[in-house]
Amino acid sequence: MSPDIARPVTTPFPVLQARRVSKWFGEVIAVNDSSLTVGPGVTGLLGLNGAGKTTLFKLLSGLIEPSQGEVLIFGQRLRREVGLFRRIGFCPESEAMHDWLTGREFVSLMLRLMGVPGPEIAPRTAAALDRVHLADAADRRIGSYSKGMRQKIKMAQALVHDPDIIFLDEPLNGMDPVARHEIIALVKQLGAAGKTVLVSSHILPEIEEMTRNIVLIHHGKVLAEGDVTEIRDKIHDHPTIVALSAPEPRRLASFLAGRELVMGVELDERGRVVARTDHAVAFYRALPGWLLAEKLAVDEIETLDDSLQAVFDYLVGD
Amino acid sequence: MPVYERGYRHWEPSGRREAAPWWVIARRGILAPLRTRRFLALLLLAWVPAVVKGVILYFSFQAGDLMKLLGGSWSAVDAPGFFAFLEKQRGFVLIVLAIIGTPLVARDRSENGLALYFARPLTLRDYVLGKLLIVLFYFLIVTLAPVLLLALFGYLVTSGATGLDMLLLTPLRATVYCLLVGTSLGLVLLALSAAGRRTVFIAMSWLLLFAGSALVAKILALFGGPWMKLLDFPAQYEHAGSLLFGAKAPLEYPRLISCLLIAGYTVGAWAVLRRRIRPVEVVS
| Mean pLDDT, range A112-136, rounded to an integer | 92
- Dihedral of CA atoms B7, B11, B14, B18 in degrees, nearest 10, equals -160
Query: Residue A223 in contact with residue A216, Cβ under 8 Å?
Result: yes
Contact between residue B231 and residue B150 where contact means Cβ atoms under 8 Å apart: no
Instruction: Give yes or no for residue A46 having a pLDDT over 90.
Output: no
**Span A103-114, pLDDT tens digits:** 999 999 999 998
CB A146 within 8 A of CB A110: no
- Give the residue among A214, A289, A279 at the shortest CA–CA distance from A303: A279
Residues of B in contact with A85 (CB under 8 A): 119-122
Query: Between B154 and A89, where is the model more confident?
Result: A89
pLDDT value at residue A27: 80
Whole-structure pTM value: 0.79
Nearest to A82 among B25, B116, B123 (CB): B123
pLDDT value at B12 more than 80:
no
pLDDT at B65 over 80: no
Q: What is the mean pLDDT of residues B244-264?
A: 92
Confidence (pLDDT) at B5: 42
Residues in chain A: 318
Question: What distance in Å separates residue A168's CA from the closest CA in chain B?
Answer: 12
Nearest-angstrom CA–CA distance, A169 and A209: 16
Rounded mean pLDDT, B77-92: 87
pLDDT value of position B10? 44
More confident residue, B97 or B68: B97
Rounded mean pLDDT, A144-168: 92
**Under 8 Å between Cβ of A311 and A241:** no
Higher pLDDT, A302 or B51: B51
Across chain A, mean pLDDT equals 85
Buried b (16+ CB within 10 A) or exposed e, A215-232: bbbbebbbbbbbebeebb
A197 near A289, Cβ under 8 Å?
no
Segments making up each domain of chain A, as ranges: 10-227, 235-316
Residue-level pLDDT at B188: 97
pLDDT for B144-177, tens place per residue? 999 999 888 888 887 766 677 777 888 999 999 9
pLDDT, mean of residues A42-55: 85
∠ Cα B47 B51 B55 (to 5°): 170
CB contact under 8 A, A115 and B110: no
Report the percent of chain B where pLDDT is more than 70: 85
* CATH domain A10-227 topology: Rossmann fold (3.40.50)
Is residue A286 pLDDT above 60, yes or no?
A: yes
Chain B hits for A2, Cβ within 8 Å: 14
The per-residue b/e assignment along A108-134, b for 16 or more CB within 10 angstroms, e otherwise, is: bbbbbbbbbbeebbeebbbebbebbbb
Question: Of B13, B28, B118, which is closest to A116 when you measure between CB atoms?
Answer: B13
Considering only residues A87 and A208, tell me which one the structure prediction assigns the higher pLDDT: A87
Instruction: Select, from the ranges A122-136, B156-170, B212-226, the one with the highest average predicted confidence (pLDDT).
Output: A122-136
Q: Is the predicted pLDDT of residue B253 greater than 60, yes or no?
A: yes
β-pairing, A41-46 vs A88-91, is: unpaired
pLDDT at B284: 38
Measured CA to CA, the distance from residue A228 to residue A210 in angstroms comes to 12
B282 vs A contacts (CB less than 8 Å): 65
Q: Name the residue among A233, A229, A228, A242 with its Cα closest to residue A302.
A: A242
Could you give the dihedral angle defined by the CA atoms of residues B120, B121, B123 and B128, in that order, rounded to the nearest 10 degrees? Answer: -60
Instruction: Verify whether the Cβ–Cβ distance B110 to A96 is below 8 Å.
Output: yes
Could you give the 3-state DSSP secondary structure of residue A38? strand
| C-alpha to C-alpha distance for B263 and A39, rounded to whole angstroms | 50
pLDDT tens string A248-274 = 999 999 999 999 889 999 999 989 999
pLDDT at B93 over 90: yes
Residue A41 near residue A213 (C-beta atoms within 8 A): yes
Q: Is the pLDDT of residue A131 over 90?
A: yes
Using DSSP, how many helices (H) and how many strands (E) does chain B show? 16, 1
Residue B283's pLDDT band (cuts 50, 70, 90): very low
Q: Do B7 and A26 touch (CB under 8 A)?
A: no
Residue of higher predicted confidence among A282 and B2:
A282
Q: What pLDDT does A237 receive?
A: 65
CA A127 to chain B, closest CA, distance in angstroms equals: 15
What was the pLDDT predicted at B266?
A: 97
Q: What is the mean pLDDT of residues A171-183?
A: 84
Tell me what percent of the residues of chain A surpass a pLDDT of 90.
Answer: 39
- What DSSP state is assigned to residue A49? T
Per-residue pLDDT at B221 exceeds 70: yes
Alpha helices in A193-258 (DSSP H): 204-210, 228-233, 249-257
Whether the CB-CB separation of A69 and A22 falls below 8 Å is answered with yes
CA distance A59 to A121: 29
Identify the weakest region by mean pLDDT among A30-34, A227-231, A233-237, B51-55: A233-237
Three-class DSSP category at A295: coil
Closest C-alpha among A193, A127, A197, A195 to residue A160: A127
Pairing of strands A28-38, A240-245: unpaired
- CB proximity under 8 Å: B 17-36 to A: 17-19, 21, 24-25, 28, 32
Q: Is the dihedral of CA B20, B25, B29, B35 positive or negative?
A: positive
CA dist., res. A242 & res. A262, Å (int):
10
A239 has a chain B CB within 8 A of its CB: no
Please indicate whether, in this complex, the C-beta atoms of B279 and A63 are within 8 angstroms of each other. Answer: yes
Instruction: Give the CATH architecture of domain A235-316.
Output: 2-Layer Sandwich (3.30)
DSSP state, residue A4: G
Which of the four pLDDT bands, split at 50, 70 and 90, describes residue B68?
low
Query: What letter would DSSP give residue A305?
Result: S
Position B282 scores a pLDDT of 45
State the Cα–Cα distance between residues A92 and A89, nearest whole angstrom: 10
- Report the distance separating Cα B134 and Cα A32, nearest Å: 42
Distance from CA of A70 to the nearest CA of B (A): 13
Give the one of B4, B14, B283 whose C-beta lies nearest to A24's C-beta. B283
Element holding B246 (H helix, E strand): none
Mean pLDDT of chain B, nearest integer: 85
Which of B116, B117, B122, B197 has the highest number of chain A CBs within 10 A, making it the mutation to test binding with A?
B116
3-state secondary structure of A36: strand
CA distance A202 to B177: 56
Query: Across residues B8-35, what is the average pLDDT?
Result: 74
Task: Tell me how far apart the alpha carbons of residues B179 and A118 are, in angstroms, rounded to a whole number.
Answer: 30
Cα dihedral sign, A124-A125-A129-A135: negative
pLDDT of residue B280: 54
Stretch 19-78 of chain A: residues touching chain B, C-beta under 8 Å: 23-26, 39-40, 61-65, 67
Q: Which amino acid is at B186?
A: G
What is the pLDDT, as a whole number, of residue B222?
A: 85
ipTM above 0.90, yes or no: no
- Residue B258, helix vs strand vs coil: helix
Query: pLDDT band at residue A8, thresholds of 50, 70 and 90?
Result: very low
pLDDT value at position A142?
92
